[in-house]
A and B are shown apart, each in its own frame.
Chain A
Amino acid sequence: MSYTRRGFLKLTGAGVACLSLSQLGFDLTEARAYATSLKTKGAKEVITICPFCSVSCHIIAHVRDGKLISTEGDPDFPINEGALCAKGAALLSMSRNEHRIKKPLYRAPYSEKWEEKDWDWVLSKIARRVKDTRDKELIEKNDKGQTVNRLDSMFLLGTSHASNEECALIHQAMRGLGVVHMDHQARI
């Protein structure tokens, strides 16, 4: 017999419900420390969309007492059928991992150290660099004398965390500067 992912859940779910604990084959108290009961049981299920690429896999976010306790692929969504790649599978960590960077870091040219900076400082610095680079390096005409207004020395790497509208704004801003080289984070 063959079955789909959700089909498996329904079939065995019904089967397991009929079993008493003793029928599971061992004393549960004995193994309590390392084979605990289901941590998501009774938690609220919220369907969300993976933010990492344009496939937009659906993810079930389990919430208990207002806190996110688990994330996993949604088997009912026809695009991913419960599956996730390494990035999507690690969504829970994105919300709570202590190794995430929470403040802007700056490494000066030739320096080996990262320094914490505030947002105002880094945004001003980025704006300054962008303006200086464009003023210095904009190519107004090509070899044939045609107007191109092209900026070859800057590159944009897009992000899956931007919405459609944000992407449009970012794209227009880059085109306005003459940037022609753009790619997307999901491709690296």
Chain B
Amino acid sequence: MSKAFLIDTTRCTACRGCQLACKEWYELPANKTKQVGTHQNPPDLNANNYKLVRFNEHLDGETITWNFFPDQCRHCIEPPCQGAADTVEEGAVIKDEATGAVIFTDKMAQFSTEDLDYVRESCPYDIPRWDAKTKRPAKCVMCIDRVREGMLPACVLACPTGTMNFGERSEMLALAKERLAKVKKDHPNAMLADQEDVSVIYLLAEAPERYHTKAVAQAPARNTRKQLFASVRSSLTSVSKS
């Protein structure tokens, strides 16, 4: 049985404990940032941030609403990035059977920049990033080192509000349903984002676009992903060569 996260955004206060716990566990260096008028910092996922709390502000009449979205790899049940990477080299992206974690391996260091862009474009959530110089992949690995030892992922352990939850997939789905029923009483539009397709299930109180443009999958492909990506890739390659 694979593992899953439930990210209950209705409990998130955007303290960014998860973001920092992740950064500290992987000992990632600081980013040089500047004030751009939002508390979302850094502005996007990057080689030094596998996890980012996104801040989205809305003015509804006289009321200001802030929708927080702790963004990370969804560890898809059928990862499109694996399908895309397989067309370059098999085994560059692997899926750990015991946990469901989607992991980028050192085989990816041989990928060209074009190949890496291709893998990134295949992600319906626009998650993967790479260090420009070393090509070190920058993506959540479900803290597989910790999970293997029976520990919680760093972000889940650090979360003080109960937003971040982790456990067996069946338990997370049950918890998700229970929470959704409660949240629906106050937020009729509440939903679970792509819960059938991913191991990182978000409970959203409002429509997904109020959180992030890629809170739910953009144009998901099903079942024939490998074939689809292979065909798309060959046609892309022929176009670029012509």
Contact = CB atoms under 8 A, between A and B. Distances in A.
Do A and B pair up? The answer is yes
Interface residues of A, number: 49
Interface stretch (A76-84, A122-130, A155-163): A76-84
A85 B155 CA distance: 11
Contacts of A91: 24
Interface stretch (A4-12, A146-154, A179-187): A4-12
B22 to A, nearest CB: 9
Interface stretch (A28-36, A103-111, A135-143, A170-178): A28-36
Interface string B219-232: 00000000000000
A36 B103 CA distance: 11
A31 B105 CA distance: 5
Interface stretch (B71-79, B90-98, B201-209, B234-242): B90-98
Contacts of A41: 149
A67 interface: no
Contacts of A47: none
A82 to B, nearest CB: 5
Interface stretch (B56-64, B139-147, B181-189, B191-199): B139-147
Given A9-B151, A38-B148, A82 B157 contact: yes
B19 A30 contact: no
Given A26-B97, A71-B24, A99-B30, A80 B160 contact: yes
B144 A35 contact: yes
Contact of B157 (A17, A25, A34, A75): A75
Contacts of B148: 16, 24, 38
Given A9-B152, A13-B149, A84 B21 contact: yes
B25 A83 contact: no
B129 interface: no
A42 to B, nearest CB: 11
A84 B137 CA distance: 27
B143 to A, nearest CB: 10
Given A19-B98, A34-B106, A34-B137, A90 B150 contact: no
A31 B146 contact: no
Contacts of B101: 35
Question: 10 closest A-B pairs (Cβ-Cβ)?
Answer: A13-B150, A25-B97, A33-B106, A83-B160, A89-B20, A12-B150, A89-B21, A86-B16, A86-B20, A31-B105
24 contacts: A8-B152, A16-B150, A24-B96, A24-B148, A25-B97, A34-B106, A34-B137, A35-B141, A35-B144, A38-B146, A39-B145, A72-B21, A72-B24, A72-B154, A80-B160, A82-B152, A83-B158, A83-B160, A84-B158, A85-B17, A86-B16, A88-B17, A89-B20, A91-B24
